[in-house]
Chain A
Amino acid sequence: MNRAGGATLAEKILARAGGLERVVPGQIVEGQVDLAMMHEQGAQTVGPFHQMGATKVWDPDRVVIAIDHWVPASTEGAAVLHRILRKFAAETNLPHFYDVGRHGICHQILAENGWVVPGDLAVGTDSHTNMLGAMGAVAAGVGPTEMAAVLALGRLWLRVPPTIEVRTRGAFGKGVTAKDLVLRILGEVRTTGAQYKAVEYSGPTVRALSMPERFTICNMTTEMGAKTGMVAPDATTFDYLAKIAKHPMHPVAPDADAGYERTIDVDVDGMPPMVACPYSPDNVRPLPDVVREHVKVDQAFLGSCTNARIEDLREGAALMKGEKVAKGVRFIVSPASTKIYDECLREGIIETFTEAGAVFTNSSCSACFGGNMGILAPDEVCASSSNRNFPGRMGPKEARIYLMSPAAVVASAIRGEIADPREFL
């Protein structure tokens, strides 16, 4: 595939990673990795790493391990995974291990500690590694065998993806958030619409978003099937990273005449809050339509790498203050990292939630994936700020998960049925 004209953000980053002047979609590039991240799934990296005959990690300063799915270990199996990782980190001298006590959801750990910087090629053993594309990087999920090769060689093959541009404009109304925007985009792009592609978010709405909001949007690019979701770096990015960047930045911007495969225009003026209904993240409807159906909620979950940052929890706490969790609802609040937990503690956010009848947990993936805690019974309904609602995601395949903004989750916990946060403002 050949093309005249300028390069997209992903093309520029992959050209750099591959040591090439220019790359085009479809081309296979051997890319030098800037940052490799592993969570529990990394335990499965250890076997292949040894089978490859590798003994040394290519650059221990560019490897981060963060355990998050089962923290502290809730099963013997999880305890074994953690031990495998600890042992591996010790043997191969990997200093950046976010173990129990400093832990958090792996993507949040990378974000808040400045591990991924503009221009990077980052890979992680988790599909939502995409979130770090908000730094103006190509950040993608890989499996553990592939990670073993990355640890051994510091590089991997990538097919240069075509890029979809999502051009945003307009301002959010009250009670409407970045989560609603990404749900709306998902409703359009669908779960297969960006398969093998990069998604570049641009336009004044995205430019005005904070880094946490950009994380939310890039995070759910995974649900579009994309290789990566990204925002070109700007002053917001540089400010966020100013004090925390772990490595030198090498920012690039897309060319003005970049060749996009497709451009989607989204105007958020007048857009209502959105909700993804069972059983797919692209089954998106305006929240008010679902509210009218009086969907009773058994559990509410404010957590996950999509929406459990301090801004999300502050916003949730502001709604929760003076209210009570409805009878019959279990409301689980799980901050995305230990750092955020501490902030909640200092700001009185924990108390606001627990006084209202919520359970405020230690930071982890928590109820997001149905393997640790907050598992649903068949036929139960959960209002969740997370990113997936496939059958079986939170346990039994019949359980129904509705994905929405943190504010909508809190509103639903208070009402006992799916509710519109704007009624509480």
Chain B
Amino acid sequence: MNPIIEDYLRDVETSLRAPPEQKKLIVTELRGHLQEKLADLRAAAPDRADDDLAREVVRDLGNPHDLALAYTPEGGAVLKNSTGDTVLRVGKAVGRGAGKVLKYTAIGLAVLLVIGVGAGVWAYYEIKPLIEKNAPYPLYSIDPTCSHPCNTSQSQSFYVHPEAREVRMSLSAHGPGDFDERRPIHGTLHVLVTAPDGTVKYNHTFTALRSTHEEITWSAAQGDWTVAYRLESFEGALNVDVIAIGLPKDAWFD
């Protein structure tokens, strides 16, 4: 499968607001479209580079975010036609006018709202400490972009509090250029993450790929963690975010 098409489909899937199963079906349908069109273009122009054809194919389908958004349009009418029909049918069934049906419906909704607000207030005070304890606490972030070859090494550290349960790292790297003009990473990018006891938690060299995204979770170890980067003739962009989970709110300001 062409990496440009797969990148595109990943972007659509990320932007879709739908249950995972539905997302999968939408992406499968779009993949079929892209594959068949790519094959048609390939047959019509066998001399053209495959990546060039793939770029044309995804461009014809449109911006991945816009496409995802079109599946789940925002807004809509305040009262749908089907709701209006229901109101009239209920009115007819109970022998009252639509106005009265709406009035009693509004009273019912108001009662439910009061109950809901009460339950919400109770839940807020009951669950608040739990939410606070699971809120992500940002530890570290870096997002360098090299549009010209970069050659550098650097090491940075972040401190993990004793009460933290987990450390999560989100790492994205991609080659230079805009989405549909993206070129593979040039040169190499080496990332090394070390825990306070010197254990190597992550050690990877990125080279020649168009884009990648990784989510890694470690159990927290108190102390100073180190992230070391080595860039050799690197052209592309990197984004690293590290968060801690499990800190009580008062520990945030230590």
A and B together in one complex: no
- Residues of B in contact with A (beta carbons under 8 Å apart): none
- Residues of A in contact with B (beta carbons under 8 Å apart): none
